[in-house]
Amino acid sequence: MKKLMLTVLVIVFIFGVSTAKKDKIPLIGSQAPSFTAQSTNGEVTFPDSYGKSWKILFSHPQDFTPVCSSELLELAYMQDEFKSLGVEIAVISTDNLSQHYMWKAHLEELDYKNRGVQKIDFPLFEDKDAVASKKYGMLHEPVSTSKDVRGVFIIDSENIVRSINFYPMQVGRNMQEIVRIVEALQKTDSEQVLTPANWEKGDDVLMPYYPYTKSELAANPDLKNDYYNVGNRLFFKIADKE
């Protein structure tokens, strides 16, 4: 009897660990989980189908809900802005594909904020069995076991997770902030710098180390056109002015 109880406990423990791993949110710096799903753009394997582009995966609670609709209309309006950054957009929810098609068709008829109708070029993934939602930790059980919270996963050209944000179901996402994060990540990657609080494209950036001492700065006036020091470890590089 003791042997049987021990076996049962081991099985329960293994199952629990396995489930916890499956539902774990992928960490920043980890490989983005891959999944293949039907979408409004056909079958897609995410993130692999997008090659060396950056990718953003947006999760939604439910089609046709007011907040979700406003977000998709904003994304549709900003498609070219994301494309200019080399970013591909994908949207996912646990609704089925036929529901996605109806929602997309409805949204493409709306004139939101007097911008005219917008075509939705990015795919809406079906995830009715919550396979991808579990891989990305989008089902937050205190809120719902069947509907995704509002997740944003920014993934780079090497399919590495670079940023993760979650929003409550009742609160719409700030799409300009998501653009800002991508711009900041691409800036820090290309120039090996840091971005300070509230950084916007075109602002000065922080250096991760002191390239010059105060005495070197004082002795070389030309350096002051490129760098300045505010305080301990706050060494800035002046942004190039176009």
- Please identify which of the residues 68, 72, 107, 205 carries the catalytic annotation: 68
3-state helix, strand, coil in the chain (%, to 5): 35, 20, 40
Give phi and psi for 50, each to the nearest 5. Answer: -95, 5
97 is catalytic: no
Comparing C-alpha atoms, which of 109, 126, 127 is closest to residue 118? Answer: 109
- Distances from the Cα of 91 to the Cαs of 149, 152, 187, in angstroms? 12, 10, 25
Determine how many CB atoms are found less than 10 A away from the CB of residue 144.
15
Helices (H), 118-209: 131-135, 175-191
Cα angle 75, 37, 131; round to 5: 100
Q: Report yes or no: 178 and 193 within 8 Å, Cβ to Cβ.
A: no
Q: The tokens 């008829």 sit on which residue?
A: 109
Strands 234-237 and 227-231, by their bridges, are: antiparallel
Comparing C-alpha atoms, which of 59, 123, 64, 68 is closest to residue 94? Answer: 59
The SS3 assignment for 124 reads strand
Euclidean distance between CA atoms 161 and 137, whole angstroms:
13
SS (H, E, C) 139-151: CCCCCCCCCCCEE
* Active site positions, annotated: 68
